[in-house]
Structure 1
Amino acid sequence: MTSGRTVAGGDAAATILAAAEACFERFGIAKTTMEDVARAADLSRATVYRHFSDRDSLIMASVVRRSRMNHDAARSYIRNWPVFADRVVEGICYDVKRGRRDPMMHMLVSPEQMTLSTQLLWQSGAAVDLTHELWGPILIEAQQLGELRKDVDVRLLSEWIAELEIMFISQTDGSDEAMDRFRTKLRAFLVPALLPADG
């Protein structure tokens, strides 16, 4: 049994998340137990369970934290592209490259974790929610400026973007050639579906 130390509330949650992510990298997401996390954090299991009810909630908290940490930088990068088509294409590519570099995201979308990924990211709606947090304001602004078709459901578009990003994170090697091919597909098939008839 893990006895552990005492840590203040907010500090404990951050400590637990850091320990969990280290365990995910060391043991894999599916094989990491709450006991592993408690031991790595040097906290009691009771303290871990006080902050996170089960392993799935701990995984989800990690995904949400890591995603939101990047939102400001991603939004700034996307807004730097003056043309709407470029914002969409380069923004999605930015997310894909970041996702491939993030060990947690890369593990979650691997074939070994597909069942867990489906449950946590898709059935819960978290993947769409997080994508919409990033893209929603950008797409709404584009719609108001007449760059994006008025009849496009922005949340549904965020869902499509989430699906494209996760598919490509899981299926590509991340090479320059693969990213260029992905850009070509986005410009050929996604962008024309978004532009107004007179765009």
Structure 2
Amino acid sequence: MAPGSDVVVERILAAAEAEFERVGLRRASMGRVAQVAEIGRATLYRRFPDKAALVDAVLQRHLTTSLARLETLMAAIPDPRERLVEGFAETIELIREDRLLQRLLETEPETVLPIATTQGAVGIALARDFLADQLRRSGLDASGHLDEAAEIAVRLVHSLMLTPSDRLGTDRQASRDLARRLLLPALLPR
């Protein structure tokens, strides 16, 4: 069942995310998630047959929510180039402030890294498609290589998420400067 299609699923996903943030993925139990969601274990297992399915759904919902927040911010900026600059800066800030992501990277990188890397194609594709769509709707053309340019930008952000830099995007203004100097020319060659 798709997230958002069922009130019970939404309660489960919210409870699971809170539990993952509190104790991590490994220590979270399906029983505790059911308890926090105020449902029976059987109801939980009808929606999510195992913990892996629940983790996938929570992470997908988490990314989708972040992209919706980003889309709202970007829609309010009239200049397409500045929209991309602010979108990049906001993305870096979202990553920096993401309690779930930071908790999991800190406490159980051996669990999170495979999800974000070798199993991360779905998330990267979702973010790439989002960015390519933003570029298309802005009327910006990357010389016929829109999807590739979007994927490169997403992979840069992905790298900064997994290995924060003490030189790149260290604060919002530094992220803006980086986007103007390097990202815009790569995404939107003249």
| TM-score band w.r.t. shorter chain | 0.7 to 0.9
C-alpha displacement of 1:94 = 1.1
The Cα RMSD (Å) is: 2.8
Q: How does 1:136-175 map to 2 (within 5 A)?
A: 136-142=132-138, 145=139, 147-154=140-147, 156-170=148-162, 171=164
Contact 2:34 2:40 in 1 (8 A): yes
Look up the equivalent residue of 1:135 and give its one-letter code. L
- Alignment CA distance shift 1:159-1:53 (3 Å): farther
- C-alpha distance 13-101 of structure 1, shift in aligned 2 (>3 A): same
Q: Following the alignment from structure 2 to structure 1, what is the Cα–Cα distance between the partners of residues 170 and 146?
A: 32
Structure 1, 47-56 or 177-186: larger mean CA deviation: 177-186
Matched-pair contact (CA < 8 Å) for 2:12–2:44:
yes
Counterpart for residue 185 of structure 1: 178
| Rounded Cα–Cα distance in structure 2 between residues aligned with 1:177 and 1:105 | 18
Scaled by the length of structure 1, the TM-score of the pair is 0.74
Indicate if the aligned counterparts of 2:60 and 2:123 stay in contact, CA closer than 8 A. Answer: no
Matched, 1:64 2:60: yes
SS of aligned partner of 2:70: helix
Closer, same or farther in 2 for the Cα pair 1:29/1:138, shift >3 Å? same
Alpha-carbon separation, structure 2, partners of 1:41 and 1:187: 44
Identify if the C-alpha distance between structure 1 residues 195 and 22 changes in structure 2 by more than 3 Å, giving closer, same or farther: closer
Stretches of structure 2 that go unaligned for 5 or more consecutive residues are none
Residue of structure 2 in register with 1:6 after alignment? none
Paired AA for residue 31 in structure 2: E
Q: Any gaps of 5 or more consecutive residues in structure 1?
A: 1-8
TM normalised by structure 2 equals 0.77
Instruction: Report the number of matched residues.
Output: 182
Percent identity between matched residues is: 26
Identify if the C-alpha distance between structure 1 residues 27 and 182 changes in structure 2 by more than 3 Å, giving closer, same or farther: same
Kept in 1, the 8 Å contact 2:31–2:41? The answer is yes
Distance 1:95 1:168 in 2: 10
